[in-house]
Amino acid sequence: MSTPTPSEQVAPGAGIDPRGPRFVAAVTAVVLAIALLTGSIWVLALQVAVFAIGAAFGVSASPYSWAFRTFVRPRLSPPSEREDPAPPRFAQGVGLVVTGVGLVLALAAVPYAVEVSAGFALIAALLNAVFGLCLGCLMYLRIVRLRRSPLLSR
Amino acid sequence: MLFPRLVSEIVYRIGALLIVVVIASIVGVLFTRRQGRARTVGSGDVLAVGDLGLPSGQRLGERATLLQFSSAVCSGCRQARRVLGDVASSRPGVVHLEIDAQNRLDLARRLSVHSTPTTFVLDGAGQVGARLTGAPSPAQVHEALALAGIAASREPNHPTPSARHKEEV
């Protein structure tokens, strides 16, 4: 997967299928729901690991994205639009922070750390999967805009 | 002894999951509603053809101009372009123009464009009457035109603004 450019420009032909991150969000939501229902540290740890891969190498490197490309996308028509992979990658990082903190607290035997962190991350994952609203992406765009064009930020 | 505690634990967890789903649903619906909503703009800002830096031959619409601000990476811009283009071709005197916000930061700042797509409804004289954030539906575009005081095609066109505009160009 190509390294994302710091700007918001995506060269023609580059960019990822926007349905990929949404599918990833849907699988993430299921995993987080299981973590919430069972309180299992292992399930949370699994999701933390997946987030870490997505944050480090891009959302397309995520195992969930592999599943999308292998099982789902062949059945779909080619994407009509492509999107910059940088915002979804940042969103994976946000998920990593939220669930990572939860995992650390859970290992420190803080009660319900698994459930609470999974709950917060699940809200974001549901918003992305169901409504196409990627909170992490919006955060990324705010940060990039503030850095690049102070005139546009308010 | 263990069983009732286990059951109540499961109930609490399912309850927590339901609360999460409800919160996500409320936020999601609110967000979706906000997309494409039109707002009137009282600033009285007037954009002339010169401001927009249009290529020669392109001009403001006689009755209205749908001025869309886009950017390179913008998942709603393509849809907005399609919808606005359709509305413009279906209503005589209404023109759809698209501007890259990155190329015209001065205009974007002047009009407080924070996100793309953002569309402004200009009347025949170039006065900004309404503003649409996000990709609108055709109905929302018609609503925005009405909000900006643009008469529907069956009503008589007011000659004064467009006559003045023709003289300028």
A65-98 per-position pLDDT tens digit: 999 999 999 999 988 777 888 889 999 999 999 9
Are B98 and B70 within 8 A, CB to CB? yes
Q: Using one digit for the tens of pLDDT, what is the confidence trace for B62-100?
A: 889 999 988 776 777 888 999 999 999 998 889 999 988
Q: What is the pLDDT of residue B166?
A: 42
pLDDT in tens, A14-41: 688 889 999 999 999 999 999 999 999 9
Report yes or no: A25 at the B interface, CB cutoff 8 Å.
Answer: no
Q: B13–A39: do the CB atoms touch at under 8 Å? A: yes
The answer to whether residues A16 and A85 touch, using CB atoms and an 8 Å cutoff, is: yes
Q: Which of A39, A122, A130 sits opposite B28 (nearest CB)?
A: A130
Nearest to B112 by CA among B28, B53, B22, B41: B41
Residues 6+ apart with CB under 8 A from B106: none
Which one is predicted more confidently, A7 or B157?
Answer: B157
Asked if B130 and B64 count as a contact pair (C-beta separation under 8 A), the reply is no
CB B73 to CB A10 under 8 A? Answer: yes
Whether the per-residue pLDDT at B12 is higher than 60: the answer is: yes
Q: How far apart (Å, rounded) are the C-alpha atoms in residues A96 and A81?
A: 27
- The verdict on a CB contact (< 8 Å) between B105 and A130 is no
Question: Among all residues of chain B, which has the CA nearest to that of A84?
Answer: B73
Closest in B21, B31, B109 to A131, CB measured: B31
d(CA A53, nearest CA chain B) in Å: 24
Query: pTM for this structure?
Result: 0.67
pLDDT, mean of residues B143-147: 86
Q: Is residue B114 within 8 Å of B105, Cβ to Cβ?
A: no
Give the residue with greater pLDDT, B135 vs A91. A91
Are B67 and B99 in contact, with CB atoms under 8 Å apart?
yes
Judge whether A34 is closer than 8 Å to chain B, CB to CB. no
pLDDT of residue B149: 80
Query: B24 and A130 in contact by Cβ < 8 A?
Result: yes
Q: Give the pLDDT confidence score for residue B125 in this predicted structure.
A: 82
From residue B111, alpha-carbon distances to A94, B41, B105, B118, B144 in Å are 32, 10, 10, 10, 17
A76 vs B37: CA distance, rounded Å: 31
Q: Does A11 touch chain B (CB under 8 A)?
A: no
Tracing tokens 């759809």 back to the chain, one arrives at: B96
ipTM of the complex: 0.81
Residue (of A38, A40, A37) closest to A106 by Cα position: A40
Q: Which strands form B64-70's sheet, in the order they lie side by side?
A: B38-40, B128-133, B118-123, B64-70, B94-100
Percentage of chain B exceeding pLDDT 70 = 73
User: What pLDDT, in 10s, does the model give residues A88-137?
Assistant: 999 999 999 999 999 999 999 999 999 999 999 999 999 999 998 899 98
Q: What are phi and psi of B46, to 5 degrees?
A: -115, 130
